[in-house]
Structure 1
Amino acid sequence: MKDHKTMQNQQQQALSNPFETLTEEIIFLILDHLNDDPLDKKSFSLVRKSFHSIESRHRKTLKPLRTELLLRTLNRYPSITHLDLTRCPRVEDNLLVSISTVYRSTLGSIDLSRSRFFTNVGLSSLAANCSALIEIDLSNGTELSDSAAAAIAEAKNLERLWLARCKLISDIGIGCIAVGCKKLRLICLKWCLRVSDLGVGLIAIKCKEIRCLDLSYLPITEKCLPPIMQLQYLQELVLMGCPGIDDEVLATLKQSCKSLEVINISNCQNVSHVGLSSLTNGAGSLRQLIIAYGSAVTVDLAKGLQNFSALQSIKLDGCLVTCAGMKAMANWCASLKELRLCKCSGVTDEGLSSIVQKHRELHKLDITCCRKITRVSIDSITNSCSSLTSLRMESCTMVSKDAFVLIGQRCQLLEELDVTDNEIDDEGLKSLSRSSKLSTLKLGICLNITDDGLSHVGMCCPKLRELDLYRSMRITDVGMTAIGHGCPALEMINMAYCDKVTDISLISVSKCSKLKAVEIRGCPCVSSEGLSAIAVGCRQLTVLDIKKCFHINDAGMLPLNQYSQNLKQINLSYCSVTDVGLLALASISSLQNMTILHVAGLTPNGLAAAMLACGTLTKVKLHTSFKASLPQSLLDHMEARGFKNMLVERVWAWAPQLTGRSGSNPHSSPSRGRVTFGLPDMVIASRPLPSSLKDLHTM
């Protein structure tokens, strides 16, 4: 009887609370399907006490917002495998020691690319104690010396290591890593200017498992290439901007690495088809070739690559391309999937048509700033390559408006389309809207499009995630309302300088709950009412630019404070915000980057209070006039948190060091108004090291 009553009570409890019937495995599956939004998982953990415990054990990735809160967080999440500290500019040795103690058996990856103040002591603790550690990113470690490299060498299972811009590390330190980390598969030494042939050669000799080797901008010569070419598993070799690499150097190669799939010799002005032939000799697995901003693409170069049957991608950005060279490329036995001709002078209708008519399986084509091509090229492209998923053709100013109709009619698999600064009109836009798979559409400076064409995009492109309407000044609330109703997956919208849009547009796009980036700079007709709608409806908002939105004031900041806890970056320049609004923003737990120029309503006291209150800030851009008004104690506090300040064009900026993993595009244009600089060197006390590189060869 008692057992029966107990069962009844359990059944009643299960009916009243169905969560009681869920097993831990099922709850883990639910957590796996939650978005990356940390607020979602936080909400989940607050449902029940048991959920809080299960979520803590389930979490594998941790990205803390503030260094000072990390220590109390470590014990709550015992199963962390990846720790991202890019929001923590100040990380000291004692913190790394604590991390290595708590995550001794679980930590596999740590990102310290935007952190400072730690030394070889903290790195040694990580490397020695975390036996599962296979990945470390120390990019921008301008203060790290060979002693830090020697500490890293204790991580015997390390497979991936980024040391970009660690300019104090020399051949001695790299030699230690080569000897200690023999399981390395990836190493990035970009801009490590003290590393020469000796250090690179040691990596090639000792680390036989290397798959990816980034030697960009190193002072290397032919001496290190023979051991590199003997690496049995090397798949990606990056020699971008290496001044010592030229035809004469490459001609000394007796053999090539047969496993090579990706070669990047961008910005190597002295490498022509002669050197390239030596480098690729025997590389039958070559899949991608990047020779951007290099020598001319001629018939000889094209003929040298004609037998690479595995070649799928070639990037020629910024090169002089001859018509004869393009015709020779058409004769390759390979079937290209990707072709980049961005800013290539010499691209003509005749040459481009010859390529696309032979390489009909192209999926990605970039002809940005190819200003000589006309409708003839577009006719050939769309007629031959109907499987295109990405087409970038910004500033192809000779292409007539009727050509864009062809793109919509023939390329309906397009997912990405960039027609910035072109003659496209509403008829072209209506045709393009047939591509129902479109996720990225860039229509900046398209002065012929109106609400009529944009409304068709809203009706027919439900998968649209990114829409750029920068300076497309004929767009009004009518077109934006159609986008708001028809594109629920939208994540980024740029309406900058569309001076006819009002709060109605913002209220409409606020229905797109997945919006993460909103740029409405130079829209004088929007106000705090529209911004409030964005804050309430778009809880995942991370980037907001409201520069020169003169009618946005403190009333717009308060909803951001309440609803936009994911906000990381905001530009408030020329707005009507006062100290009250700035203090409201200061309580946003994710805020990292603020630009506050020419905001008349701010006072030095309000600014100081906001900066002290917002512990997550990593960059603040101010007018230099504020510098003399801020107390020295605040300046010292900011310095202690890992920031540096400098004066650039009458703008005073606090900012941490830059980040940059291997693979970032060195030729991309910097963001408008971005301030970048290198941090001063600081020599760290070194630990005992081998007396010479000769000692390393015998270890």
Structure 2
Amino acid sequence: MKRCEGCFEVGRLEALGDDILLQVLDNINETRDRNSWSLVCKQFYRLESARKRKIRLLRGEMLPRILKRYRAVEHLDLSLCPQISDQCLGFVAAAAGPSLRSIDLSRLVRFSHLGLSVLAKGCENLVEIDVSYCARFGDMEAAAISNAKNLQTLKLVRCQMVSDLGLSLIAVGCRKLQDLNLKWCVGVSDLGVELVAIKCKELRSLDVSYLQITNKCIASITQLSYLETFVSVGCVCIDDKGLTLLKNGCKSLQRLDVSKCQSMSSTGIISLANGCIALQQLNLAYCIPVTNALLASFDKYDSLQSIRFDGCEISSSGLKSIGKSCKSLMELSLSKCTGVTDEGISALVGGCTGLKILDITCCRDLTDAAITAVATSCGNLSCLKMESCALVTERSLYMLGDRCPFIEVLDLTDCSVSNTGLKSISRCTGLTTLKLGLCENISNEGLTHIAAHCSNLQEIDLYRSVGIGDTGLAAFASGCPKLRMVNLSYCIGITDHGLKSLAQLEKLYNLEIRGCFLVTSAGISAIASGCKRLVELDIKRCYRVDDMGMMTVVQCCINLRQVRCFRDLKLFILCEYVYLTLFGDDLSLTVKRYGLCR
């Protein structure tokens, strides 16, 4: 039998040819499984190396070795490697060169304009750069990025040292920009935004949130023929005049976010309806009073699919108007809105039968009548957030389980939920996220129903649900193998036995057990041994966890990024592995030792 060069005998797989083997590789979704596949023989190793296009590096010192193996990498994420320097960026330019199309350098501080200049010139096909939260990124670095002539997406979130000068250099050098995010770039004014609008004619998305810009730059923005997304959250100097200017241009605008723009009124929003008829998403959260005249103007938006009114006052007649005007509505957020009643919700869903996402968080006057109407009318509902709707009972949950089988996200935090209610919603077998925080009437029995039928569950939040114990966790561990995020904070009945059950969850990456007083180092060690992918761990006020438990976590969980624990932990023995940051009586540990890549 023929042997694959340099490896053990593998039968006749090599006879299949590279094309067929690459098809096999493309059907392996898990990173860990793909890595195992590459270790079968040299042929598999070579094919996996040639096929990998996206890398998220977790150890900066491995960069040369990784890029030597994966020469066709197109997307490189270095945001978790704080030691990335100009020398590293130079190596990226030399090794990846023309194949590299996007790079993420967010939150890094050790590189300068020198490294960015080499990167931009050496990677001529670079189309996306993310330098968000890079505290030392200023005008010189912006000048370096301007050498990336083919750049299409640039994220500069909270780069507060960038001024109009730096932005103008980017505008002149990067004429092909399509997506620009300037959120919290407080050094940028009207002048910089105007120049971007004048020079970058292909812009499709522009985020100027929290900038001190005025109506002056809106006139230039309206000249962008292809603009589809405009986000101006917290731009308090833009008023109705600015919206009027926007109406006269930007005929292609599909998404508008003017939340927290408190200088605007309903008159300005109404004027938009006469121009931006292609609008699909509108965010008016914490912005203006929602009047009946405003809602009546929505009748002109034939394509409106998403509206956010968070924090606004809205009447039953207003909701009824939405139901009549917005027949194509798929998403509606009424989080923390006042004036929302059963009558209004019933009228709304009677017209918007295609609704898939509904947020009624803190709409405290709603009862079973409203939820029953939602369940009856919106059979394709996929996300329902109803935190603090305390008047809702098991009757509503029964209707949701019976009429809305496609629900994936359900938030019942601080609701009157019992085990009977959990049995009802367990019929929503596609659930991926379930939040049951502050539900004091549920117990292990209810969790068993969920675990038995909702095998696709990825996130469960049981914050302060004190009736939960180890038995419920055991049910989740066996019935929901895809769980990635688990919040058990202040579930005081949880012990080491429960954590040993959760240790079976190989995909778990976020675990919060704050205030679980019965948990000891034995339970934490079990989690560390079984949950190798753990990224974040919160053990504040778990006073029985000692240094040995923490050492096991840091040594076993090579992807660990953050640990939240208490001040009394003797951390000097961990100094090789972690950075320490004090937060009052607690500690936040950012782990320095990472894994390889994924």
TM-score by length of 1: 0.79
Q: Taking structure 1 as reference, are residues 534 and 23 closer, same or farther at Cα in structure 2, changes over 3 Å only?
A: farther
Cα deviation for residue 128 of structure 1 reads: 1.6
Cα deviation for residue 56 of structure 1 reads: 3.0
Counterpart contact for 2:540–2:586, Cα < 8 Å: no
Counterpart contact for 1:338–1:365, Cα < 8 Å: yes
Cα deviation for residue 357 of structure 1 reads: 1.5
1:268 partnered with 2:238: no
Matches within 5 A, 1:247-326: 247-252=240-245, 255-326=248-319
Aligned counterpart in structure 2 of residue 215 of structure 1, from 197, 202, 208: 208
Counterpart contact for 1:526–1:551, Cα < 8 Å: yes
Q: Distance in 1 between matches of 2:332 and 2:247?
A: 30
Counterpart contact for 2:273–2:300, Cα < 8 Å: no
Aligned counterpart in structure 2 of residue 154 of structure 1, from 143, 147, 151: 147
Matches within 5 A, 1:573-652: 573=566, 597-599=567-569, 602=570, 604=572, 606=573, 610-611=574-575, 613-614=576-577, 617=578, 620-622=580-582, 649=584
Q: Distance in 1 between matches of 2:485 and 2:2?
A: 51
Aligned counterpart in structure 2 of residue 99 of structure 1, from 76, 79, 92: 92
1:32 partnered with 2:26: yes
Cα deviation for residue 295 of structure 1 reads: 0.9
Partner of 1:78: 71
- Deviation track 1:20-51 (CA, whole Å, cap 9, x = no partner) reads 435333443444344454x5454444443444
Aligned counterpart in structure 2 of residue 225 of structure 1, from 195, 215, 218: 218
Partner of 2:596: none
TM-score by length of 2: 0.92
Cα deviation for residue 74 of structure 1 reads: 2.9
Partner of 1:165: 158
The one-letter amino acid paired with 1:342 is S
Aligned counterpart in structure 2 of residue 205 of structure 1, from 198, 204, 210: 198
Counterpart contact for 2:562–2:588, Cα < 8 Å: no
Aligned counterpart in structure 2 of residue 242 of structure 1, from 231, 235, 260: 235
Q: Taking structure 1 as reference, are residues 177 and 225 closer, same or farther at Cα in structure 2, changes over 3 Å only?
A: same
Gaps in structure 1 of 5+ consecutive residues: 1-7, 574-596, 623-647, 657-699
Matches within 5 A, 1:74-473: 74-252=67-245, 255-473=248-466
Counterpart contact for 1:135–1:158, Cα < 8 Å: yes
Q: Distance in 2 between matches of 1:423 and 1:458?
A: 20
Q: Taking structure 1 as reference, are residues 121 and 423 closer, same or farther at Cα in structure 2, changes over 3 Å only?
A: same
Aligned counterpart in structure 2 of residue 540 of structure 1, from 533, 536, 541: 533
Counterpart contact for 1:57–1:79, Cα < 8 Å: yes
Q: Distance in 2 between matches of 1:312 and 1:25?
A: 42
The one-letter amino acid paired with 2:581 is K
Cα deviation for residue 565 of structure 1 reads: 2.6
Q: Taking structure 1 as reference, are residues 500 and 171 closer, same or farther at Cα in structure 2, changes over 3 Å only?
A: same
Cα deviation for residue 488 of structure 1 reads: 2.2
Q: Taking structure 1 as reference, are residues 447 and 150 closer, same or farther at Cα in structure 2, changes over 3 Å only?
A: same
Cα deviation for residue 267 of structure 1 reads: 0.5
Q: Taking structure 1 as reference, are residues 652 and 442 closer, same or farther at Cα in structure 2, changes over 3 Å only?
A: closer
Counterpart contact for 1:85–1:114, Cα < 8 Å: no
Aligned counterpart in structure 2 of residue 495 of structure 1, from 488, 510, 522: 488
Aligned counterpart in structure 1 of residue 562 of structure 2, from 569, 591, 594: 569
Q: Taking structure 1 as reference, are residues 536 and 91 closer, same or farther at Cα in structure 2, changes over 3 Å only?
A: closer
Q: Taking structure 1 as reference, are residues 380 and 10 closer, same or farther at Cα in structure 2, changes over 3 Å only?
A: closer
1:23 partnered with 2:17: yes
Cα deviation for residue 254 of structure 1 reads: 6.2
The one-letter amino acid paired with 1:21 is A
Q: Percent identity?
A: 44
Q: Distance in 2 between matches of 1:444 and 1:651?
A: 23
Q: Taking structure 1 as reference, are residues 168 and 545 closer, same or farther at Cα in structure 2, changes over 3 Å only?
A: closer
1:407 match: secondary structure: helix
Cα deviation for residue 312 of structure 1 reads: 0.6
Q: Distance in 1 between matches of 2:105 and 2:303?
A: 37
Q: Taking structure 1 as reference, are residues 147 and 503 closer, same or farther at Cα in structure 2, changes over 3 Å only?
A: closer
Q: Distance in 2 between matches of 1:275 and 1:210?
A: 24
Counterpart contact for 1:307–1:333, Cα < 8 Å: no
The one-letter amino acid paired with 2:483 is L
Q: Taking structure 1 as reference, are residues 36 and 189 closer, same or farther at Cα in structure 2, changes over 3 Å only?
A: farther
1:570 match: secondary structure: strand
Counterpart contact for 2:2–2:11, Cα < 8 Å: no
Larger deviation, residues 12-21 vs 48-57: 12-21
Gaps in structure 2 of 5+ consecutive residues: 592-598
Q: Taking structure 1 as reference, are residues 41 and 570 closer, same or farther at Cα in structure 2, changes over 3 Å only?
A: farther
Q: Distance in 2 between matches of 1:196 and 1:404?
A: 50
Larger deviation, residues 395-404 vs 198-207: 395-404
Partner of 1:665: none
Counterpart contact for 2:3–2:10, Cα < 8 Å: no
Q: Distance in 2 between matches of 1:258 and 1:97?
A: 43
Counterpart contact for 1:86–1:114, Cα < 8 Å: yes
The one-letter amino acid paired with 1:598 is D
Counterpart contact for 1:306–1:334, Cα < 8 Å: no
CA RMSD in angstroms, aligned pairs only: 2.6
Cα deviation for residue 302 of structure 1 reads: 0.5
Larger deviation, residues 287-296 vs 563-572: 563-572
Q: Taking structure 1 as reference, are residues 541 and 148 closer, same or farther at Cα in structure 2, changes over 3 Å only?
A: closer
Q: Distance in 2 between matches of 1:485 and 1:105?
A: 47
The one-letter amino acid paired with 1:70 is L
Q: Distance in 2 between matches of 1:551 and 1:14?
A: 48
Cα deviation for residue 557 of structure 1 reads: 4.5
Q: Distance in 1 between matches of 2:330 and 2:113?
A: 45
Q: Distance in 2 between matches of 1:16 and 1:139?
A: 47
Q: Taking structure 1 as reference, are residues 170 and 241 closer, same or farther at Cα in structure 2, changes over 3 Å only?
A: same
1:531 partnered with 2:524: yes
1:305 match: secondary structure: helix
2:294 match: secondary structure: helix
Q: Distance in 1 between matches of 2:447 and 2:235?
A: 46
1:484 partnered with 2:454: no
Q: Distance in 1 between matches of 2:20 and 2:40?
A: 16
1:251 match: secondary structure: helix
Q: Distance in 1 between matches of 2:4 and 2:159?
A: 62
Q: Distance in 1 between matches of 2:482 and 2:544?
A: 28
